[in-house]
Structures are given as structure tokens and as C-alpha cells.
Amino acid sequence: MSQPDGQNNTLDNLLSESRTFPPSAEFAAQANATAEWYDQAAADREAFWADQASRLHWDTQWDQVLDWSQAPFAKWFVGGRLNVAYNCVDRHVEAGHGDRVAIHWEGEPGDSRRITYADLQREVSKTANALAELGVGSGDRVAIYLPMLPEAVFSMLACARLGALHSVVFGGFSAEALRSRVNDAEAKVVITCDGQYRRGKPMPLKANVDEAVKDTPSVEHVLVVQRTGEDVSWNSGLDMWWHEVVDRQSENHTPETFDSEHPLFILYTSGTTGKPKGILHTSGGFLTQAAYTHDVVFDLKPDSDVYWCTADIGWVTGHTYIVYGPLANGASQVIYEGTPNTPHEGRHWEIVAKYGVSLYYTAPTTIRTFMKWGADIPAQYDLSTLRVLGTVGEPINPEAWMWYREHIGGGTAPIVDTWWQTETGAIMISPLPGVTAAKPGSAQTPLPGISVKVVDENGTEVGAGGGGLLVLDKPWPGMLRGIWGDDQRYRETYWSRFAEQGYYFAGDGAKYDEDGDLWLLGRVDDVMNVSGHRISTTEVESALVSHDTVAEAAVVGASDPTTGEGIVAFVILRGGAGEQAGGDQAVTALREHVAREIGPIAKPRQIMVVPELPKTRSGKIMRRLLRDVAENREIGDVSTLADSSVMDQISAGLNTSSADE
Ligand code: PRX
């Protein structure tokens, strides 16, 4: 397999990276945040965050910035009251910006919609009225299973307006994944659409909902947006067309006011066990950090910038940096429905040129794909409006960073490599584009107001040049407030490893270089990072074992030049299923089975049928050894295996099959 430039050098560069790119004097002079912000935040963290919270409109001022007395359950801006949707929509209209474009929506087939803040206010109000008519009120849960349509944004904001929690389920997830999330949150309403355009074709979506709601007792209504106009089957007991219910509603809706700690949304993410975790975020603190980080990390100038975040609304990046951050800041942004190579590989750059995009935020996996397609493609477009480039989701290798800077950023646009998680709610570690001398591949510095440490197994801080585990040692406003319905799991997952010190353990390895800059080194737990998305090994293993032919499965993430990590599965077939059952057809069937159970994103890149799995004497699968096999490396130390001949058996009897796309 060909490797993009520099892929082999990542480690070397990491050890010796000396290139730095300070912002131009011009950029620095106009930047929203300056170096003093670090000092101010360090001098008085709470005062700093209070300043950031004053970016928002509060109906009632808070009387305490932070209450950490019930740690690890934080309360921020205690006693404050606000409406999140009012902050993202109405107040901009009231400030005279009703005519400013909120969303330039671009459909994959080339259709488009231009939605101003005044339009957004009308659409969100109508949607809120419709949801209220369907019985949705404060504290209720609404599942949103929509692709990148404006209605996804309207729905999320309508929930926020009503004090209902949204649970957005990525449109690429399967019926089964949707069902389990709807049931965990006990959602009352599901919002979906007939289908979406993907790679030039209408793809059905509603059929998954039909399948899921056969077994979701909490669901009272399914609201269906018409996007493709393709036929859908109709369940008259539940289904209603969006245009029939929403379009006839009043364009006025008075937002209620909610406590700063009122829940805003649940978003499911993978952990080390099979069951996804419903990460819970609340209102005032989340919106404060979303607005602050979006402003300073992207250096947003709301009256002149055009911002574009290419994430899907189904991931946290879509929540914080498509919906809440940009809209709280009154930004104009592009939302694009489709894939980057439809109808051609220059689609993103065509969109940048069409709208004059100035701030562009994407994932390293996408950048590596663009590298593969070649620099001559972006070179055909006018990208001169781009002035800040961002990346998120996984470490970016220095050569991809350099390519991004040179071929997309014209050799001048600062790059912000932003580290954060579903759980942190918003960006935590990132350069400030007008302050930091950027270093390719490093996320560099915690933002003003954020505190992190790199510690060893005992929780002792490592110094410059040292590596260890990344922890967050002080609470932050956007932090998760728990796991939906499972306080115990919340404590165990994030707070038990360094309970004595009271640190939040992020699950990532990190190191400081000699300059004190931070380098993220990937997950240290059994969570894979595929195209910037977290998928747990256990989840894929459970899906495999749920297939009739599989007795046992072990899954590892193996490094992959484009997707960061690729999923490699080792399966033992059930007695009698035998050798020939491990042929291409069976492997294809297993890959399809995983796609059905979880979603195409979790489809293993490779499935190897093996006679045995390497286990310790206590029965723990030694993934390290399987990773050696998956990455074609010499197999490491096997001395702790219960049966040391197992790796020989695996190597001898490997029956491999590669991905079919
Ligand atoms: O491992 C880190 C990686 O993505 C994980 C969080 O995944 P998720 O909750 O899905 O959120 C992704 C978008 C915020 C982290 O634990 N990660 C995210 N950003 C970076 C990163 N790793 C290195 N550098 C980054 N900039």
C-alpha cells in the first residue's frame, strides 16, 4: 500500500521537529486573543471564565462561577439562567444582524439554501412549536437521526429552546445502533428524513428508523423531513411529515429561561466496554466554552469571515463547532451535505471559492485523502480567502500538516491543531493563531483557562521531554456532567485512575518536547480512532460474536495511512464452521454483519480467521501481539502467554482477506 509523503517519518519528526511558524505581524496585530490571556487566566481562573461567560446573554446573572464541592459533578455559573437557542439565534436578530447569513447550505447535487439569522429564528421557532405540539417539553429527550440538512440544526436549536435534550445519532449508524441509543435515552420523538444524497445517489435513511422503532417503547412520534422524495414505507401510528407539521406553525415562539446547569444534550460515544456512553452536557458552561474557543481558536470576525467545519452533525465537532459555538458567535458558515469527491475531487475547494470561506476546520484523515488525490486539485481553485485552518480528531502527522499549510493555506494561514473530546465539550489544547509559533504535529498548549498535566502511572508529573498519560487537573466549563443514567460508570471511567489526585483521565498518551509543547500520542485504552472517530474494540468484538459462525473475536486498531487506524479482527469460527467457512465469502458476510450491527464506519478493514487467540494465564487477550500481526511486525515478547505456541499457530494458519473497497 502506498504511503502518503512523510508517513514513515512521523516518529522521527516528533523527536526532532524544529520547524516553527509564528503568525505574521499583520495577523498577530488583528488577533482576537493575545499572549496576555494566558497570564490573566492563570492569575484568576474563575474571573477569566466569568469574563468568557459574559459573551452570552443571561436572563439571570449567576452568583457563583464554579461549585466543585460535589466533584466530579461540576456546576458552573451557579444560579445563572439563560436560553441557549436565544443566545444562538434571537439575540443576533435583536442586535440588528437579522440579514446576516447564518448558514450557506450546499446540497451534494448542487442545490443550495441561504439561511439568514432572521430565517433561522423563524425556522427554529416553528420547529419548537411543532415539537411542543407533539408533547415535547423541558427534560424530554428527542433523537435526531439526520444527515447534514438545515433541519438538523433547526431541530437541535428547537430542543434547546424548549429545554428538551437532543441525542443526535450519526446518520451512518445502523438501525441497531439507533435503537439502543433511543432506548437508553428513552427518546419521545425521533426526527429523521426519507434519505440523503451520498456519492451522487439518493440513499434511504428512514428504513433504518422503521427497523429501530419496532422495539423502542418510549417513541411516540417520528418526524420525517423530505429530502430525496424517494418512496418510504409509512407507519401511520407514528410517522408524520416535517412539512405537514412544522410548516403550518407560528413563526413566533417565546423562549423560556433555564438554569445554567439544565441539561442540553446527550451524545453517545464509544468507551472500553461494548455499551456506548451517553455523554451529558449542560447549558451555561458548555455554551461559554463553545463560544469562547470558537472565537479565539479560529480568530472569528463574525461580520467578515465565512467559516466551514466539515464534521458531521452526528459527532461532537458538529455539535460544538457547527451549531453552538459559531451560532452563539453570530458567524456565517457553510454546511455541506455530501462527500468531498462528489461529483469531483475538487468539491471542497470549489465550495471554498464559491463562498469565500476564510476559516476551515477538518480532520487529518481528510487532509491525508486530499494529499493522496494530489496538490494539483486544490491548485485549480482560488483559496486566497482562507486565513485560519484547523484540524481535529487525531494526531496530525507533521508532513500532512506541512501539506495543509502549503497547498491549502497558501503557505501563510496559521494551522490550529485542536485536541479535545466528546467529554470535554469544546477545545482544550490548541495553538492560538495570532500568538503561538505553530509547530507541525503538535497541539502545543492548553488554552487560557484550561489546565492539563502529563503524568506517569503514579500520577507524578513528567517534565519537559517526558511522556505519560494526559490528565485534566482542574474542572472546565464545557466538561461533561456525567454519563446518562450511570453515575457509577462516570466515576469509574474518568475519575478512578487518579482518584487520589482528583484528575480526569482522558485516555490519551501525551508527551512534552524540550520546548514544553504537547504532543498527543493516541489512545492508551482499547478504543480505536478510525478517521477521527472513536470505536471500541469490544463493540466490534460483540458484533462479530453475535454472528452465528463466530465463536470468539479479538479486534485491534492497526495503523492505516489514510484513516489513522484501521480495524483488524481476529476470529475463531465455531466448531465445524471449519477452514472453508473462513473463505472470502464468509469474511465478506462478517464485515457486512458488523456494518449492520454498528454502521459502515465500524466495518473491519481486515478479518483474519485464526485457530486460537493469544491469552495470558488469566485469560486476557494480548492485543499487543495481535497488533504486531496486523501491522506485519515481528511478534513481540510472548513469555506471558498461557500457551506460547499460539502465535506460531496464528502465523502459520492465517487466512486473510482484505477490505473490498
Ligand atoms: O484520542 C484523542 C483524539 O480523539 C479522541 C476524542 O474523540 P471524540 O470524543 O470522538 O472527539 C473527537 C473530536 C473532538 C481524543 O481522546 N483526538 C481528538 N483531537 C485530537 C486527538 N488526538 C490528537 N490530536 C488532536 N488534535
Question: Is residue 253 in some structural domain?
Answer: yes
Could you tell me the CATH number of the domain that includes residue 564?
Answer: 3.30.300.30
Question: Is residue 646 in some structural domain?
Answer: yes
Was 319 annotated as part of a binding site?
Answer: no
| 192/144 Cα distance (integer angstroms) | 6
Helices 284-298 and 45-53 cross at an angle (nearest 10°) of 90
Residue 472 Cβ < 6 Å to ligand 1: no
What pLDDT was estimated at residue 283?
Answer: 98
Q: Are residues 445 and 539 in the same domain?
A: no
- Structural domain for 592, as ranges: 535-654
Identify the domain boundary among 490, 507, 524.
Answer: 507
What pLDDT was estimated at residue 583?
Answer: 74
pLDDT tens sequence across 170-204 = 999 999 999 999 999 999 999 999 999 999 999 99
| 132/528 Cα distance (integer angstroms) | 39
**Cα→Cα distances 180→176, 186, 195, 276, 483, Å:** 6, 10, 21, 9, 15
Question: Is residue 250 in some structural domain?
Answer: yes
Question: Is residue 50 in some structural domain?
Answer: yes
What pLDDT was estimated at residue 271?
Answer: 82
Residues (pLDDT < 50) of the chain are: 1-13, 655-661
What pLDDT was estimated at residue 578?
Answer: 53
Identify the domain boundary among 471, 492, 507.
Answer: 507
Provide the number of structural domains found in the chain. Answer: 2
Q: Are residues 215 and 303 in the same domain?
A: yes
What pLDDT was estimated at residue 582?
Answer: 58
| 581/573 Cα distance (integer angstroms) | 8
Closest ligand 1 atom to 522 CA: 1
Was 341 annotated as part of a binding site?
Answer: yes
Q: Which residue has the cell 403550518?
A: 248
Question: Is residue 528 in some structural domain?
Answer: no
Residue 523 Cβ < 6 Å to ligand 1: yes
Nearest Cα to 300, choosing from 344, 377, 357?
357
Q: Are residues 428 and 305 in the same domain?
A: yes
Report CA(583)–ligand 1 centroid distance (Å): 36
Q: Are residues 485 and 626 in the same domain?
A: no
Q: Which residue has the cell 472513536?
A: 534
Ligand 1, atom 4: closest residue by C-alpha: 393
Whether 572 and 555 have beta carbons less than 8 Å apart is answered as: no
Q: With left for phi above 0 and alpha for psi between -120 and 50, is residue 318 left, alpha or beta?
A: alpha
Question: Is residue 113 in some structural domain?
Answer: yes
Could you tell me the CATH number of the domain that includes residue 332?
Answer: 3.40.50.12780
Residue 430 Cβ < 6 Å to ligand 1: no
What pLDDT was estimated at residue 661?
Answer: 34
Taken as a whole, the chain contains a residue count of 661
Q: Are residues 482 and 544 in the same domain?
A: no
Q: Are residues 451 and 555 in the same domain?
A: no
Q: Are residues 91 and 184 in the same domain?
A: yes
What pLDDT was estimated at residue 132?
Answer: 98
Q: Are residues 167 and 31 in the same domain?
A: yes
**Cα→Cα distances 429→35, 199, 451, 479, Å:** 15, 34, 9, 14
Nearest Cα to 430, choosing from 407, 449, 405?
449
Q: Which three cell numbers stand for residue 516?
A: 514544553
| 161/483 Cα distance (integer angstroms) | 23
Q: Are residues 462 and 545 in the same domain?
A: no
Closest ligand 1 atom to 311 CA: 13
Phi/psi of residue 85, nearest 5 degrees: -70, -40
Report CA(421)–ligand 1 centroid distance (Å): 5
Q: Are residues 578 and 469 in the same domain?
A: no
Q: Are residues 475 and 572 in the same domain?
A: no
Was 534 annotated as part of a binding site?
Answer: yes
Q: Are residues 423 and 501 in the same domain?
A: yes
Residue 508 Cβ < 6 Å to ligand 1: yes
Q: Are strands 564-573 and 415-418 parallel, antiparallel or unpaired?
A: unpaired
